[in-house]
């Protein structure tokens, strides 16, 4: 079949030569390499040059045996497969994310909208004073609707969780003070609490998404490198990739469940605080019949700051880690990394050992893994057995590797760290943490960051709990009003957010891990 000479906005076709625009190619170097590798493997296609700057590809082919429609069909199939593989990688990477799904979908929209409304109300009250109609049903209805819309993600997530687990989750505790403040027509104070919560989630979601994007890019580069060495048939490769992805997802899901089980204990203080404030408020109302005093007790005892203590510190730590080339995939892993007392390297390591020793980790071992040139390399089953034996002695294990067969060891360890530059795609995909530049000294930095983050979490919880208890005591004695209790709630929440961000981004605080010299 001989192709005619055709020129359109989408392609320019000569005999055996096709220059065609491809939508997925524009500003996408990864896809340029992907489609080039795939097309040149097709029969009767001689060469392919893809330019991501222009979004066009130049294809030389045999015009007698392949036509334009067939080439376009091949391009369409390749685009679809690339999209599926990229989505699978992003989905696999995101399995470690442990943020509120409602706020992840559009955290910026809620934070910006609530901030604009809040600024408008504050400016109006500052320049015009409190409205004479502020007590009217119309004004109250508008304020209530605005508050409910701003807190909709928290409220909806609470009802979905309550329907499944039949308990009160912390999203409702963050929204509760806003509802209480509405009863005394303090919309500004209530919206301030919501805005601080949404701002914290926005910063955390942005940091987590940046880490996911960096890890996904590493995985995509690994996959493109593998295409160069691909010698098996296309269908065999597809089956292998699907099995590999399934194994990675199972390992990630298992580790995420492991972290969630440990994290459930951290909510104990929040649950006790909310029931404590309810009990004190109820007793106060029964004894005094003073609704405003009971409302002040509920506001002062609302554990919104306690609920944010861990999340605010975690989100700040993820941003700090990303700045240092340490990408967090399982956010719960960063918290448990600080408990490590044993570090296992897959290969011999001559740097970073002194840093680990300086952090009190004396048990640093080298395990000959699958990529070692040593003919006495330890089989994967023996590595897993070694890890299990150490854990039976009460050891907290950190496994550092970069090979395909490390996935089982990663699953068995308490925290798994992969080297991003030399590591295989499977190692990166199943790890909890990825070090971008393969610097072993970053392991010590990550452990130090984890310990410092845990210290900030303890500070936050201690301060927030003390603040709540003091507030309840003051409210119970009628020393503060509901409005004052609402202001104290804002101050406590703001203090938690500021302490998390200022402490974890203090450059001097991390000079210890970075300045240790290798002897």
CA 270 – CA 11 distance, rounded (Å):
62
pLDDT of residue 517: 46
Alpha helices in 378-517 (DSSP H): 380-392, 407-412, 425-430, 441-476, 482-504, 511-515
Q: Is the pLDDT of residue 399 over 60?
A: yes
Residues 412-422, mean pLDDT to the nearest whole number: 83
Hey, what domains does the chain have and what are their CATH numbers?
6-95 (3.30.70.100), 325-452 (3.40.50.1000)
Q: How are strands ordered across the β-sheet holding 342-345?
A: 326-328, 433-435, 415-419, 397-401, 342-345, 363-366
Q: What pLDDT is attached to residue 170?
A: 57
Average pLDDT over residues 97-111: 53
pLDDT band at 12 (very low <50, low <70, confident <90, very high): confident
Higher pLDDT, 319 or 48: 48
Arithmetic mean of pLDDT, 306-326: 82
Dig out the tokens for 223 from the structure. Answer: 């996959």
What is the rounded average pLDDT for all residues in the chain?
73
pLDDT score at 60: 92
How large is the average pLDDT for residues 40-58?
89
The predicted structure's pLDDT at residue 257: 46
**pLDDT value at position 413?**
86
pLDDT value of residue 97: 47
pLDDT number for residue 438: 78
Asked if residue 251 lies in contact with residue 96, where contact means CB atoms within 8 angstroms, the answer is: no
pLDDT at position 139: 59
Label residues 54-73 b or e (16+ Cβ within 10 Å = b): ebbbebebebeebebeebee
Residue 45: pLDDT band (50, 70, 90) is: very high
What is the rounded average pLDDT of the residues 100-118? 62
Instruction: Please tell me the predicted confidence (pLDDT) of residue 215.
Output: 65
Task: Report pLDDT digits (tens) over 279-297.
Answer: 887 888 788 888 788 888 8
List C-alpha distances in Å: 357 to 259, 342, 364, 376, 417. 26, 11, 8, 27, 18
Residue 29 pLDDT: 80
Does residue 498 surpass a pLDDT of 80?
A: yes
- Does residue 444 carry a pLDDT above 80? yes
Confidence at 230, pLDDT banded by 50, 70, 90: low
Q: Which of 48-57, 251-260, 332-341: highest mean pLDDT?
A: 48-57
Task: Please answer whether residues 420 and 438 qualify as being in contact, where contact means their C-beta atoms are separated by less than 8 angstroms.
Answer: yes
pLDDT digits (tens, 9 = 90+) for 148-180: 776 666 667 666 666 666 555 556 666 666 676
Interval 496-503 mean pLDDT: 81
CA angle 347, 352, 357 (to 5 degrees): 110
| Coil, helix or strand at residue 185 | coil
Check residues 310 and 180 and name the one with the higher pLDDT: 310
Give yes or no for residue 39 having a pLDDT over 50.
yes
Mean pLDDT lowest for which of 140-149, 284-293, 509-518? 509-518
Confidence of residue 261 (pLDDT cuts 50, 70, 90): very low
Distance CA 476, CA 478 (A): 5
The pLDDT score that the predictor gives to residue 476 is 85
User: What CA–CA distance (Å, rounded) separates 451 from 266?
Assistant: 16
266 has a pLDDT exceeding 70: no
**466/485 Cα distance (integer angstroms):** 14
Q: Answer yes or no: is pLDDT of 20 > 80.
A: yes
């Amino acid at each position: 079949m001989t192709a005619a000479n055709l020129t359109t906005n989408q392609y320019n076709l000569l005999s055996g030569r096709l220059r065609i625009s491809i939508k997925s190619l524009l500003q996408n170097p990864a896809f340029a390499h992907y489609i080039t590798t795939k097309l040149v493997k097709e029969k009767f296609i001689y060469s392919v040059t893809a330019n991501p700057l222009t979004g066009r590809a130049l294809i030389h082919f045999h015009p007698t045996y392949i036509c334009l429609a067939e080439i376009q069909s091949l391009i369409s199939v390749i685009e679809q497969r690339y999209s599926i593989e990229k989505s699978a990688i992003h989905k696999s990477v995101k399995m470690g994310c442990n943020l509120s799904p409602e706020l992840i979908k559009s955290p910026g929209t809620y934070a910006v909208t609530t901030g604009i409304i809040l600024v408008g109300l504050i400016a109006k009250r500052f320049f015009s004073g409190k409205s004479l109609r502020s007590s009217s049903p119309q004004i109250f209805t508008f304020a209530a609707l605005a508050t409910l819309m701003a807190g909709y993600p928290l409220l909806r997530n609470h009802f979905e969780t309550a329907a499944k687990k039949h308990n009160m989750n912390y999203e409702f505790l963050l929204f509760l003070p806003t509802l209480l403040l509405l009863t005394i027509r303090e919309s500004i104070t209530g919206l301030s609490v919501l805005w601080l919560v949404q701002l914290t989630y926005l910063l955390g979601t942005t940091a987590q998404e940046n880490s996911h994007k960096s890890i996904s890019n590493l995985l995509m580069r690994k996959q493109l490198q593998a295409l160069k060495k691909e010698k098996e048939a296309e269908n065999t490769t597809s089956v292998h990739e699907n099995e590999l992805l399934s194994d990675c997802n199972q390992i990630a899901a298992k580790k995420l469940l492991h972290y969630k089980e440990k994290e459930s204990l951290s909510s104990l203080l929040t649950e006790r605080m909310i029931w404590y404030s309810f009990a004190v408020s109820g007793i106060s109302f029964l004894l005094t019949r003073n609704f405003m005093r009971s409302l002040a007790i509920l506001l002062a005892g609302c554990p919104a700051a306690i609920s944010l203590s861990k999340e605010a510190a975690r989100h700040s730590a993820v941003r700090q880690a990303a700045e240092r080339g340490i990408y967090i995939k399982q956010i719960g892993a960063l918290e448990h990394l600080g408990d490590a007392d044993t570090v296992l390297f897959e290969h011999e390591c001559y740097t970073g050992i002194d840093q680990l020793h300086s952090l009190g980790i004396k048990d640093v071992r080298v395990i000959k893994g699958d990529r070692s040139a040593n003919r006495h390399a330890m089989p994967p089953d023996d590595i897993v057995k070694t890890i299990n034996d150490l854990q039976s002695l009460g050891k907290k294990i950190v496994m550092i590797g970069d090979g395909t067969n490390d996935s089982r060891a990663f699953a068995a360890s308490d925290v798994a760290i992969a080297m991003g530059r030399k590591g295989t795609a499977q190692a990166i995909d199943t790890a909890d943490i990825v070090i971008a530049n393969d610097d072993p000294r970053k392991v010590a930095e990550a452990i130090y960051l984890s310990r410092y983050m845990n210290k900030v979490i303890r500070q936050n919880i201690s301060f927030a709990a003390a603040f709540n208890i003091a507030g309840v005591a003051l409210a119970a004695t009628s020393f503060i009003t509901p409005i004052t209790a609402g202001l104290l709630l804002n101050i406590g929440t703001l203090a938690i957010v500021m302490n998390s961000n200022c402490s974890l981004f203090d450059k001097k605080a991390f000079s210890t891990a970075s300045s240790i010299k290798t002897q």
